[in-house]
A and B are shown apart, each in its own frame.
Chain A
Amino acid sequence: MDYDIHVTPMDIGKAAVTVSGLSKSFGAATVLENVSFSVDEDEIVVLLGASGSGKTTILRIIAGLETADSGLVILHGRNVTSQPARLRGTGVIFQNYALFPKMTVEDNIGYGLRLRRRKKSEVKKAVDDLIELVHLGDHRKKFASQLSGGQQQRVAIARALAYKPEVLLFDEPFGALDAQIRTTLRREIRGLLKQINVPSIFITHDQEEALELGDRIAVLNAGRLEQIGTPFEVYNHPQTEHVATFLGSANLLDGKMLDGNFVAGDVSLTVEDEVTYNDGEDVKMVFRPEDVFLRRPENLTQKYQRFVDGIVEEVTFVGAFERVTVAVNLPGKDTIIVSRPKTETAAFPLVAGQAVPIGLVRFRIIKPRAR
């Protein structure tokens, strides 16, 4: 069996979690295909993907609640691939928190230590410390049914932290909460995790959540790991079409590389990339709506390349910015989406039907992936 060569023994040594070459099928359906990545000590990695992308399966395989068809799970250098869940020492925060309904908050938190037959005084001390850490002092004698969603989540985290887990695994932890609480809560939890320095893996389908929570984001698509990197890298340097479109919105254009330029119809853009391209190679050009300028580049300090001319089709006000649909005449493309900040909309108002010059301040070339 061949494992991913990108995971070297050195990585395994320093990483808190390494998964290597995970594959899994349920009957004829392939859920995971050769997924490999590592999570460093003190790092938060977010597995981002739509439902059915395999992210939950990865989490369950790491926890030992599911077995992979092939591949390895290594926790702090220990190969746990064939070990049952109870011997792995992971801390799973389930989507519904899975607090034990007949136990109080403090009994829930102490459960892992009681299973490990720690002394009563030791359990009490640990529980007291954790209750203080997650600010649940007033609720220690309560049952899960008497707590709010956010409080239940904090109990679930404290309960997993009690036995010093190898890694915390969060299964869509904010899915059950309403939008306003989500934002506050995920900042709170990121703060908490950074304070205690426990390696963590989150799974989510929410790109905003991924960008805000993760030190690194792993983007999954149909059981494959498309890209892993910092939020900045993944957002600004997407390596695949799926990554570009799943995180934020993106305009895509098919073209060819010719002599260091991206060429599509009449358009030719100079590509400044460390990557080398073969002449005539088929590629895709990706640019974000916010990387487009709909005016002449006077006084513009950013690097600007002339793209094409277009006609404003529709202007929509969407709160913090304005979204403009511009009709263009490009091979395989009749409109592009542009977003403009308030400073722009105030200085250069646009109306439908207006002809505009279109320029780009940033774009990416994506090589079609050989599957």
Chain B
Amino acid sequence: MGSGLSRFRHTRGFDIVKPLSIVTLIVIMLPLILLPLASIFIFGTASGLDTFMAALMAPEAIFALKLSIVTSFWATVFNVVFGLFAAYVLSKYDFWGRNAVIVTISLPTAIPTAVAGFALLLLWGPQGTLGRLLDPDGGQIMFTAYAIILANIFVTFPLAFGVIMPVFETMSHSLEEASATMGATRWQTFWHVTLPSLRGAIVGGALLTFARAVGEFGSTILVSGNLASRTQTAPLYIFAKFNEGQVEAANAIAIVLALFSFAIFSILFFARDWLEAD
């Protein structure tokens, strides 16, 4: 039955396809993923640590990093709390239009971020449907940090929900029933029984949301105004500095963002067992 090749493989215990396919895999990944990332670090450290530190410590750079972290933090808080609430309601109650709600929550995944930013501008901008109702002197939302938070909320809306909802759905209903028969109110059951079981999903969803929000560019550049030291987030800073020809300045922040992403990815990857442990 066996062809010459397969007999060869069995008798010699060597499969030439295995090393070939692994090498092919790495060769494809190298120029697409690994080399671009490596070049950030190679270029950023090429002109010495002092240059790197100076670029990093520039007031505009520090402001941009801080703004990214703060706006991403509040977007994360909102989306985790909302995602938890939405998952609770949608897993507990069946109602007319339930699927429409789920689709709507997930919609931002499929919307280009530039479109999201543009849509927010149309709504909240000085001439926008709601924006024109706001005080033109000082009461505006667009081109402030709040606009960045709004944009972050929009583009990361489905992430926390998407992680929490499946855990809710697989959670045994009898846990909550047991808690109720033992004398717990709904709130006590949620606090003592439901929430601890969601710990891993909440942490995971928050990290994912935060990581995504810190890197957000497309919607932020439209709604923030990109004003240095006022509404310029870290990704916008990289873009601006690169356009001005200050490649070292852009590169320093790029390294910080890349390391930050590695850190979050490692937590999600390696701490998964801890997060999901019973």
Contact = CB atoms under 8 A, between A and B. Distances in A.
Interface of A: 63-65, 84-92, 94-96, 98, 100-103, 111-112, 115-116, 143-145, 159-160, 163
Interface residues of B, number: 19
B180 interface: yes
B132 interface: no
Contacts of A94: 174, 177-178
A90 B199 contact: no
A98 B174 contact: yes
Nearest to B178: A98
Contacts of A145: 278
A86 B184 contact: yes
B9 interface: no
Contacts of B181: 63-65, 85-86, 88, 90-92
Contacts of B183: 86-87, 89, 112, 115-116, 163
Per DSSP, chain B at the interface is: helix
Interface of B: 172, 174-175, 177-185, 188, 192-193, 196-197, 199, 278
Contacts of A89: 183
Contacts of B177: 63, 65, 85, 92, 94, 98
Nearest to A111: B182
Contacts of A143: 278
A9 to B, nearest CB: 27
24 contacts: A63-B177, A63-B181, A85-B177, A85-B180, A86-B181, A86-B182, A86-B184, A87-B183, A88-B181, A91-B181, A92-B178, A94-B177, A94-B178, A96-B172, A101-B175, A101-B196, A101-B197, A102-B196, A102-B197, A103-B196, A111-B179, A111-B192, A112-B182, A163-B183
Nearest to B182: A112
Contacts of A102: 196-197, 199, 278
A65 B180 contact: yes
Nearest to A162: B182
Contacts of A90: 181
Contacts of A84: 180
B211 to A, nearest CB: 26
A95 B172 CA distance: 12
A87 B10 CA distance: 70
